[in-house]
Structure 1
Amino acid sequence: MTPAILLTRQPADNQRLAGRLDALGIRSYCTPLLQIRAVEESSEQRSLLLDLDRYQAVIAVSPVAARLGLERLDRYWPQVPLGIDWFAVGETTAGILRQYDLPAQAPLDGQDSEALLALPRWEALLAEPNLRVMIWRGVGGREHLASRIAFAGGQVDYLELYQRLPADGLPQSIEAARQAGVRGIVVLSVQALEYWHAAAGQEWLQQRLWRCWVPGNRVAKRAAELGCEDIIMCNGADDDALVTAINAHRLTVQGE
Structure 2
Amino acid sequence: MANLKGARILVTRPEHQAGKLSQLITEHGGEAVRFPALAIVEHEDSMGIQQKLANLDKFQWLVFISANAVNFAVKANGGKIRQLSTQRIAAIGSSTAQALQAVGLSVDVMPESSYNSEALLATAQMQHIDGQCFLIVRGMGGREELAEALRSRGAEVDYLEVYKRIIPRMDNSHLLALLATNTLAVVTATSAEVLQNLLVMVGIGARQQLLKIPLVVVSERIRCVAVELGFERIAVTEYPSDTAILETVATLCNRSIEWQN
TM-score normalised by L of structure 1? 0.87
Give the fraction of aligned pairs with identical amino acids, expressed as a percent. 24
Offset of residue 171 of structure 1: 4.1
Equivalent pair of 2:49/2:77 in contact (CA under 8 Å) = no
Q: Can you list the C-alpha shifts for 1:178-202, whole angstroms capped at 9, x where unaligned?
A: 3693232111111111111112222
2:201 to 199, 202, 216: 199
Equivalent pair of 2:8/2:31 in contact (CA under 8 Å) = yes
Determine whether 1:3 maps to 2:31: no
Equivalent pair of 1:2/1:251 in contact (CA under 8 Å) = no
Q: Distance in 2 between matches of 1:192 and 1:48?
A: 30
1:161 alignment partner in structure 2: 162
Q: Distance in 2 between matches of 1:245 and 1:83?
A: 42
Offset of residue 83 of structure 1: 2.5
Query: How many residues are paired up?
Result: 250
Structure 1 residues 251, 2: CA separation in 2 closer, same or farther (over 3 Å shift)? farther
Offset of residue 68 of structure 1: 0.7
Determine whether 1:41 maps to 2:45: yes
Structure 1 residues 108, 170: CA separation in 2 closer, same or farther (over 3 Å shift)? farther
Equivalent pair of 1:170/1:199 in contact (CA under 8 Å) = no
Q: Which runs of 5+ in 2 are unaligned?
A: none
Equivalent pair of 1:31/1:173 in contact (CA under 8 Å) = no
Structure 1 residues 103, 206: CA separation in 2 closer, same or farther (over 3 Å shift)? same
Determine whether 1:228 maps to 2:231: yes
2:113 alignment partner in structure 1: 109
Aligned residue runs from structure 1 range 18-33, under 5 A = 18-33=22-37
Aligned residue runs from structure 1 range 1-256, under 5 A = 2-41=6-45, 44-74=48-78, 77=81, 79-104=82-107, 105-123=109-127, 127-169=128-170, 171-172=172-173, 174-176=175-177, 178=179, 181-200=183-202, 201-250=204-253
After superposition, the CA RMSD in angstroms is 2.5
Structure 1 residues 112, 210: CA separation in 2 closer, same or farther (over 3 Å shift)? same
SS in 2 for 1:103: coil
Q: Distance in 1 between matches of 2:241 and 2:201?
A: 25
Q: Can you list the C-alpha shifts for 1:196-241, whole angstroms capped at 9, x where unaligned?
A: 1112222111110111111112211111011111111123433233
Structure 1 residues 138, 172: CA separation in 2 closer, same or farther (over 3 Å shift)? farther
Matched to 2:49, the amino acid is: Q
SS in 2 for 1:20: helix
Offset of residue 33 of structure 1: 0.5
Matched to 1:7, the amino acid is: V
TM-score normalised by L of structure 2? 0.85
Equivalent pair of 1:187/1:212 in contact (CA under 8 Å) = yes
Q: Distance in 2 between matches of 1:71 and 1:40?
A: 12
Matched to 1:138, the amino acid is: G
SS in 1 for 2:226: helix
Equivalent pair of 2:41/2:165 in contact (CA under 8 Å) = yes
- Runs (4 or more) in structure 1 with deviation over 4 Å come to 73-77
SS in 2 for 1:135: strand
